[in-house]
A and B are shown apart, each in its own frame.
Chain A
C-alpha cells in the first residue's frame, strides 16, 4: 500500500484558500514541539509568541509597523512571481531606497522644508527601481538569471549603506557612532496613533494594496501579467511582451521595496544606521506566497508574519527564547505552505497493489 498523487481535473479553489491557515496551524504545532524539545514550557512560550503581543494597543500598533514594509514589498514581488519573474533581492532594493531617501533628508537637514518627506518618498522609490533595473536590464538584454543578480546586489547595497554611515554620511556630532544625524521633523513620518510607533506609511501600504487589487483584477494589464506567467506562448500570441513584463514587474517590485525602505528610515528609525531591516525583503517572499499572490491575501499574510517578528521579540523578553526562533518559524511556515499546496492540485490516494 502506498500513497499516490492523482491530478485533480481543476485546482481546488476551496483548498487554495484553506491551505494558508492550515500551514499557520501546522507551524504553531511544530513550534509546540520545538519549544518542548528546547526545554521551554511550550504553552508559555507559544502564548508569549502569538498571544500576548495582541493584548495591548502598543502590540497591535507594532503589528502595523512591521506589516507595513512586508505588505508593501510582497505586493510588488507578487506581481513578478505571477509573471514568473523571481526578484529575490528586495532587501537590497529596500536598502537603496533608504539610502536615497536618507540622502534627500540629509541634503535638506535643518531646513524643515515642508516638501522634504514627499521628495524622500520619490527618491526612495527611484532608488529601489534603479537597483531593480540592473537585474531587469541584464535579464532582458543578456538573459542573465535575475535570482542571482538581484541577490548579489543585496550584499552590495548593504555594504554601500555601511560605507556611507561609517564614512561620508556619519553624523559629525554623533560621538563616532556609525549613523547619520537624525532626520528633520519635516523628513519624518507622522505617527497616527499617539503613544505608539504606528506611522502614516501604514496608510500608504493600505492604499497600495487596494491599488494593486484593482490593477490585478480589473485591468488588462493585470490579466496580461497572469497570462505571461501561466502561458507564455499564449501571451506572446496575444501580443503581450515578456520583456516588458520583466521590466514592469521588477521596477514595480523595486519601487515598492524602495518605498518600504524609505518608511523604515523616515518612520521607526529616523536616521540611517548600518542595519535598517531585519530581513523584510526576504520575509516578504513568504508573505507573497502565504497571501496567494493576491492583494487581499497579502494584507492578511503580512499581519500574520509580522506577528512572528513581534512574537520573537516578546518571547525573548518573557521566556528567554533566542531571537532566532523568528527565522525558524518563518521558514517552517513556507515549508508547510508548500507541502500542503500539494492538496490544491492533487488528490492523495492510498493505493493497494493490485492482487494477482
Chain B
C-alpha cells in the first residue's frame, strides 16, 4: 500500500509541470496564437524561481519570480508576432534557443547549490486520512494551483463572456475584430498568461521535482506540453487527464529503471515519454476521434487590423 501511495505521489509531481505549462499554452492557442517557445519560458521560470528562492530564502518569492520571468519572455514573443507580425513558428523557436541560453547564463553560478524543497501544505484533518490523505491533501502549493488553474480555465472558456471573446479571436479574428473586440490586446493577455504558466511549470521542476538547477533541466517537457494540447483537442479537462497519463508513463519508466525490470537499459526506457508523445500524436490524428478538427481555425495566423 505504501509503495502504491509513493508511486501515485511521484506521478502527481511528474504531471504537475506538464499540466501548468500546457494549461497556459492551451489558452494561448485558443486565442489563435501558436507559441513554440514553451521550453524556453519554462527554463526561464526554472532558473528565476531557483535563483530567487536561494538568494531570498523564500520559495514563495521564487514562484512569483518564475511567473514573471516566463511572462517577460512571452512578452518578447508577443511583441514580435503580434505587433511586428513575425512568423510565429520561427519566433517560438528563437524563444526556445534564447531561453535555453539565457537560463544557462543566469544559472551558471548556481549549479550544484542546494535548496530546500517547496514546503508541502498539509490541509488540516484531510491530510491525515488514510491513503488518499497524503495524495490529495498533502501536496505543495503548485500542485493545488495546477489543478485549480486547469479547472478555472475550463470554466472561463466555457462559461464566461471573456472566455467566449477569447475563443472568438482564435476561431475568426476578422469577425472578432469587426464586432469591436481588441484582438491584439486579448492575444497579448493570453500570451502573457501562457508565459506565466510555463514559468510556474519550470519553477515546479527546480523547486519541487528536483530541487536544484541544472542546465536545460526541462528535457523536452515544454515540447511534450505542446503535444498534450493537441492530444487534449484544446479542451482543458482532457488536458488534465492527459497530463496525468504522461506523468504516469514517466514515473513507470523511472520505476522500471530503478527496479531493473525487463533487463532493458536505462537509456532505452528513458525514450518512452518521447515515443509515447509521438504515438499519441499519431493516434489523435489517425483515430476515429478526429480531435485535430477541433483546432482553433486561426491558430498561428497573423492578424493585422485593417481599419
Contact = CB atoms under 8 A, between A and B. Distances in A.
Q: Do A and B share a complex?
A: yes
Interface of A: 5, 86, 88, 134, 138, 141-145, 147-149, 151-153, 155-156, 159-160, 162-163, 166-167, 282-283, 285-286, 289, 322-332, 334-335, 338-339, 341-342, 345-346
Nearest to A141: B286
- Chain B CB count within 10 A is highest, among A144, A162, A345, for A144
5 contacts: A145-B230, A152-B274, A282-B97, A331-B100, A339-B86
Interface stretch (B117-125, B126-134, B158-166, B265-273): B265-273
A148 B227 contact: yes
B148 to A, nearest CB: 28
Contacts of B104: 322-324, 327
A143 B281 CA distance: 10
Contacts, number: 139
B277 A329 contact: no
A159 B90 contact: no
A156 B227 CA distance: 16
Contacts of A322: 104-105, 108
A238 B227 CA distance: 34
B223 A152 contact: yes
A328 B282 contact: no
B267 A331 contact: no
A346 B265 CA distance: 55
Contact of A156 (B93, B230, B274, B292): B274
Given A327-B101, A331-B99, A341-B84, 10 more contacts: A142-B282, A148-B230, A148-B277, A153-B274, A156-B274, A156-B275, A322-B105, A328-B105, A331-B102, A338-B80
Contacts of A138: 278, 281-282, 285
B69 interface: no
B274 A334 contact: no
Contacts of B292: 143
Contacts of B97: 282-283, 285-286, 327, 330-331, 334
B220 interface: yes
Contacts of A341: 84, 86
A322 B91 CA distance: 25
A345 B168 CA distance: 28
B282 A144 contact: yes
B36 interface: yes
B271 A334 contact: no
